[in-house]
Structure formats: C-alpha cells, structure tokens
Structure 1
Amino acid sequence: MKYPRSLHAQISKGTTSDDRFMPNGYVEAFSKMKNIVMTEKLDGQNNCISEKGVFARSHAQVSRHPWDKPLIERWNLIKGDLQDLEIFGENMYGTHSIVYEGLESYFYVFAVRNKDKWLSWDEVKFIAECFDFPTVPEIGLKFLLSDFISQHKDENQALGAWLKANLGMDWEESVLTAGQLGGYEEISQRPCSEGFVVRNAEEFSTNEGMLPVSKNEFDSLFKLVRMSHVKTDIHWSKTWKQARLIDYNKYKWYGYEYLSEK
C-alpha cells in the first residue's frame, strides 16, 4: 500500500487544486492526544523501502529512477533485515525547489509502517538509527497545544499561536528561514524551508476514526506548507541536479563516495 494522503492544516498556504484540508475540529482532536511531535517538512521525493524493493509514490512497481540509485544500493544491503517494516522517508539525492547546505544523508526517515500500524515517533527514530539513517529534523516543543485551545475561540487561531510560541515566530516567517538543514530557494537564493508536519507521537492507524476523513487519509497527522513552494517544472526529470552532502566519507560504504565523483 502506498503512503496515504496527508491533509493540510486549514492555515496552510502552499496548496494546489487537488490538495485537501483537515476537517473542522482537528486542532481540538490533536490537543487531546497524549503526545504530539512536529518535524520539518523536507523538499524531496517520498520513497519507501521494504523487503520487496524501493518504491516512489506508486507501489505498483519498484522505482528505477536515476535519482533513486543511492537508495537502491542501500536497499540491497539491508533488504534481508526489513521483514514487515516499511521505511518511509524523503529522498534528497535530486534537488527540487530547495537546495540544502547541511545534508548528512540522501535519505531522511519520517515514518515507519509495520503491517497496518504507523509506529510511534520514538520507534521511528530507533529503527532509523538501526539502519543508519537520520530522521527528518524535529522541532522541540515547549508548549502544550491544549493550553492554547482554552485561550482561543477559533481553533486555527489557537494552532497559529501554538506554532508561534514553539517556533519563536509566526510559522509563515519561520519558513522564510533556512531551517535546520540550511535550505535556500535555488531560483531566488533566499533562505527558506518547506513547512512542517504535526503528528501523533504514539502509534496509530492511518484512519483512527476520530475525524471525518477518507480511509486513505491520515487523521493523526497534518502538514503546513509555505506559499508557492513548488518551483520545479515538467522538465525536472531531464534537468535535475545531484544534491551535495557535507561529508561523503560518512556514507562511502554504500556508494555515496562513488556517486559524488560522477
């Protein structure tokens, strides 16, 4: 099964015509969760590694894209240990709209599925470490969302205030900074990051039934994306460029050193 659809927060900016928003009541539902986590949304390709192969968005067949080569080489080394685990992450080998100056790896894990369950964030970090992958950057949370729900009548105002308290600025301002991996827009050269993902930190199913969303849509996870975040065009697959790592030697044992010379 491919990665389910993640819905936008109602205050997200960078939506397209086929994107969908979280239904009313979503902020209150998240405020009642035992623990939530926020991570930086990276500008890469959603890839999955399972014992069957490396997959892009579609799981109908394994990926053969040239920008998937490092991940396929890595999969060949770990496929025997994956069993029921499906590891999802951002493939950063091909630069999209954002260039990152602080990449340690070409693959940043953001989720792990075991059969029909999405593992807790602590388990995601543990499994990523076991396979020698970093996870997407985590934003330290100092304030509870529930405290802001009680202070605001409108749930989206509460969400915005909670984000500002934890980020130290409005989230719309935060995505105009370089984020934790030194991002900048390739065209304008201005610092930026793509956005954020907020998820239940505990284990969950795709649809827990707590919000009126479709079966293939998350109700324990949502995203916020900056305005006009997509800058690539239909010719990207022919003109794409390889991203650079800060230390190729760290991962030379599965092909990055060789690839850096190509």
Structure 2
Amino acid sequence: MISRKYSRTYHYPFSPGTTSDDRINYHIQEDIFRIQTLVHTEKLDGENNCLNRYGVFARSHAAPSETPWTRHLRERWATLRHDLGDLEVFGENLYAVHSISYARIDAYFYVFAIRENDQWLSWEEVQFYAHLLDFPTVPELAIQTQPFTMAAIEVDVNQWATQPSIFSSYDAHSGEPCTREGIVTRNANGFPVDEHSHHVFKYVRKGHVKTDEHWTRNWQRARLIHEQSTDLR
C-alpha cells in the first residue's frame, strides 16, 4: 500500500446514524476537555478522496482510483502533483450524486483535512493550503473556544443537524428538501495521526444512506449551480 487511508472518525454518543461498522466515542467528555478550540463543519454527502504525490485515492487507499467520477480529480492532480510534496489532501468528492443532491455547489471537491507525514494539520493550515491549491473547504458552521460544555455542544450540533445544507440539500430519490447529512467537529489545532479518534467527532442523521450495491452502475453526475434550474436555487 502506497498511501494510508483516512483515519476512522468516531461518532458522538448522541449521533443517531451509526451502523454496525461504526465506532462511538464514549469518552468524548475527556477529549473535549483537553481541546482549546473546536471547529464545526458540515458533513457533505460524497466520496472521501485523497490527493497525494502518488495519485488520487478513494476510501480504501489500496490503489489509485480509476472510477469515472474521479476523472475530474485525476485531471486536477496531473497539474498539482509536483506541488504536493508530503501533503495529502482529503476532501468530499461530490461529482457523483449519492443520497443527497445539492442545488448550490459551485465545485466538486471540498477539502476537510490535510495530512503531512504523521501529523494532521490545523484547520488554519488546511484553509491555507486548500486556497493555495485552488480548492474550497467544507462549509464552516462555527468555531468555539473554551470554556464550553458537552451539553452545550450537543444542543448546537442537534440544532445544526435539523437544518438544510448550506448548499441547499434535496433527497436524491424523492427530490424533496432534506436536512444536511451531518456535522463533523475537529480540534482547530494540529494533532498526531495516531490521536485522530480523540480530536475529530461526527454526527450523522438516521437512515441517511439510500444507495445500494447497484449505485455504481446507475450513478449520475451532480449539477453545479449554474446548471440548476432557478426553482432549486
């Protein structure tokens, strides 16, 4: 394996969208207490892709991706590969529609994390490098600095979870408006790769995934905002 996959993100204990494969952080109170500043971002419904010096990778990182919905990223990678160095850029690839359609996206790849060797970079560094590489970052919902409590965070996260996406979210199957997929909370500062589970947490709505094993046969390209009809904007 020439690239390590993205570290597993543990769920908040109150996250309703867990499955049998997911992990829950039952010690989150202790982890939160040690963090000075939290960044809350919107969890977008796409494919976790990584760009590094070796290519473009999907979630498994077993080998560079060759799927049709990563073609646009592979074309971008060809122009950036010599500038990446030890940086590994992780983002949500929205090129193919999954369970949510977005009416207001103006790009297909939204960066949420950057790894450099054995360190996850700070949110400020993520934003800096994403801008330098001409990629947008995932929507930022709030930044909170100590003192904060787990109870207050739960109230905020649950409230954000009831709202639609910043990019206007619609159920990909019914076409009806829907809430955002979830929330990702991270330490605003950098931290070691091996400590990921103590610094990044997520909330995912219940019953979010509506794709099946046939998804890759019938996938559809997401439309950017300028391609959408005015009634969906």
* TM-score, length-scaled by structure 2: 0.90
Given candidates 17, 20, 44, the residue that maps to 1:14 is 17
Q: What is the Cα deviation at residue 71 of structure 1?
A: 0.5
Task: Name the counterpart of 2:89.
Answer: 87
Are positions 1:200 and 2:202 aligned together? no
Q: What is the Cα deviation at residue 144 of structure 1?
A: 4.8
Q: What is the Cα deviation at residue 125 of structure 1?
A: 0.3
Q: What is the Cα deviation at residue 62 of structure 1?
A: 0.4
Alpha-carbon distance change, 37 to 233 in structure 1, aligned in 2, over 3 angstroms: same
Are positions 1:191 and 2:191 aligned together? no
CA distance in 2, matches of 1:133, 1:147: 31
AA paired with 1:35?
T
Task: Name the counterpart of 2:39.
Answer: 37
* TM-align CA RMSD: 1.7
Q: What is the Cα deviation at residue 181 of structure 1?
A: 1.0
Q: What is the Cα deviation at residue 118 of structure 1?
A: 0.3
Task: Name the counterpart of 1:73.
Answer: 75
AA paired with 2:221?
Q
**Alpha carbons 1:46, 1:89 under 8 Å: kept:** yes
CA distance in 1, matches of 2:29, 2:171: 30
**Which consecutive unaligned segments of at least 5 residues does structure 2 have?**
228-233
**Alpha carbons 1:207, 1:219 under 8 Å: kept:** no
* TM-score, length-scaled by structure 1: 0.80
Given candidates 122, 147, 160, the residue that maps to 1:174 is 160
CA distance in 1, matches of 2:119, 2:193: 7
Task: Name the counterpart of 2:58.
Answer: 56
What's the CA shift string for 1:48-103, capped at 9, x where partnerless? 00011000012221000011011111101111100100000000000000000111
**Alpha carbons 2:101, 2:171 under 8 Å: kept:** yes
Larger radius of gyration: 1
CA distance in 1, matches of 2:222, 2:54: 26
Q: What is the Cα deviation at residue 185 of structure 1?
A: 1.2
CA distance in 1, matches of 2:171, 2:214: 18
**Which consecutive unaligned segments of at least 5 residues does structure 1 have?**
149-154, 209-216, 249-262
Task: Name the counterpart of 1:229.
Answer: 208
AA paired with 2:200?
L
Task: Name the counterpart of 2:104.
Answer: 102
Structure 2 SS opposite 1:218? helix
Instruction: Count the aligned residue pairs.
Output: 223
CA distance in 2, matches of 1:219, 1:181: 29
What's the CA shift string for 1:186-212, capped at 9, x where partnerless? 22313221000111100101233xxxx
Given candidates 120, 127, 133, the residue that maps to 1:131 is 133
AA paired with 2:189?
E
**Alpha carbons 1:206, 1:219 under 8 Å: kept:** no
Structure 2 SS opposite 1:181? coil
CA distance in 2, matches of 1:3, 1:219: 14
Q: What is the Cα deviation at residue 22 of structure 1?
A: 0.5
AA paired with 2:141?
I
**Alpha carbons 1:43, 1:92 under 8 Å: kept:** yes
Alpha-carbon distance change, 79 to 175 in structure 1, aligned in 2, over 3 angstroms: same
Are positions 1:162 and 2:156 aligned together? no
Alpha-carbon distance change, 147 to 59 in structure 1, aligned in 2, over 3 angstroms: closer
Which runs of at least 4 in structure 1 moved beyond 2 Å after TM superposition?
143-148, 161-164, 173-177
**Alpha carbons 1:39, 1:196 under 8 Å: kept:** yes
